[in-house]
């Protein structure tokens, strides 16, 4: 199956994940983009250490390039929406980071229901 990766965008068009990646060093950017490309190729089949499922309660997954984390979810079984990115500093993902990703997931789904966003762009 072919997946399409999309970056979550706020109502004013900003992409927090793209901004995060833009601020990385070139080697770190290259690693992140390699992980994103792998995710696009294998989707749900991506496993540790490259990616992981964060649980049924959230429906979220994490991409794990080094200490960087990119939280994403699958929409309509063929889209992968990158919601949130951060530098992991502790063993557990902080609840505050999960809450940000969940809020963005809700915003994204609301915008799609109201036809305010097209993932094919």
Question: Quick one: pLDDT at residue 112?
Answer: 84
Q: Report helix, strand or coil for 120.
A: coil
- The answer to whether residues 35 and 65 touch, using CB atoms and an 8 Å cutoff, is yes
The model's pLDDT over 63-85, given as tens digits with 9 standing for 90+, comes to 999 999 999 999 988 999 999 99
Give the residues of the chain that fall short of pLDDT 70. Answer: 116-121
CA distance readout (Å), 64 to 46, 67, 87, 106 = 11, 7, 10, 23
C-alpha separations of 29 from 62, 76, 89, 95 in Å: 17, 28, 19, 25
Q: Is the pTM for the entire model greater than 0.75?
A: yes
Phi, psi of 52 (to 5 degrees): -160, 155
What the chain holds in terms of domains, given with CATH numbers, is 4-113 (3.30.2310.20)
């Amino acid at each position: 199956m072919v997946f399409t990766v999309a970056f979550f965008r706020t109502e004013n068009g900003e992409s927090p994940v793209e901004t995060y990646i833009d601020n990385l060093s070139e080697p770190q950017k290259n690693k992140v983009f390699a992980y994103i490309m792998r995710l696009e190729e294998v989707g749900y089949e991506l496993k540790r250490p490259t990616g992981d499922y964060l649980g049924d309660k959230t429906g979220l997954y994490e991409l794990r390039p080094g200490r960087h984390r990119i939280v994403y979810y699958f929409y309509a079984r063929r889209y992968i929406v990158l919601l949130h990115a951060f530098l992991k500093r502790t063993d557990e993902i902080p609840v505050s980071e999960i809450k940000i990703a969940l809020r963005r997931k809700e915003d994204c789904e609301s915008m799609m229901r109201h036809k305010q966003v097209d993932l094919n762009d």
